[in-house]
Amino acid sequence: MRHSASKVIIIPLLITFFIVSALTPVVQAKVIDTQTLMATQSNSPKAQLQGFLSREDVREKLIELGVNPVDAGNRIAALTDQEINQLQLNINDLPAGSSALAVVGAVFLVLLVLELVGVTNVFNNL
């Protein structure tokens, strides 16, 4: 009696084990180059700035201020790494939260850096 009870428990467990182990994907590790790593990192400063622009409240405020969000995204994409790092340092000093003033300040900083570099002529039109 005891022998048949163990078969009833062990055989379904073995079948389940083999099914689960057959369906589990195999993990393979390999060396990747720096460019691939940099392309996959979404935590870069440029990606964070693009993330600011993808927020609906920021897009609404840009439109309210007369700035096309697509143009602002293109301007951020055109910034060099040094300009992005400088801008990132200033953004980290701003207070946290969903303050519209902080968002407007960040957009102003982007436009100011672009103006100083000579990419745009935003402030000459005012």
> pLDDT value at position 111?
77
- pTM summary value: 0.39
125 within a domain of the structure (yes/no):
no
Question: Is the residue at 83 inside a domain?
Answer: yes
Residue 18, domain member (yes or no): no
Domain membership flag for residue 22: no
Residue 8 has what pLDDT? 77
Is 20 inside a domain boundary? Answer: no
Assigned domain for 23 exists = no
Residue 11 maps to a domain: no
- 17 inside domain: no
Asked if residues 107 and 73 have their Cβ atoms less than 8 Å apart, the reply is no
Which residue from 94, 90, 78, 93 is spatially nearest to 46, judged by alpha carbons? 78
Burial classification of residue 114, based on how many CB atoms lie within 10 Å of its CB (0-12 exposed, 13-18 middle, 19 or more buried): buried
Are the C-beta atoms of residues 62 and 68 closer than 8 Å to each other? yes
How many domains is the chain partitioned into structurally? 1
Query: CA-to-CA distance for 10 and 14, rounded, in angstroms?
Result: 6
Where in the sequence is the domain holding 94, given as residue range(s)? 34-117
- Per-residue model confidence as pLDDT tens for the chain (126 residues): 556 767 777 888 888 888 877 777 777 778 888 877 766 665 667 777 788 788 888 888 888 888 888 888 888 888 887 877 777 677 666 555 555 666 777 777 787 777 777 777 766 655
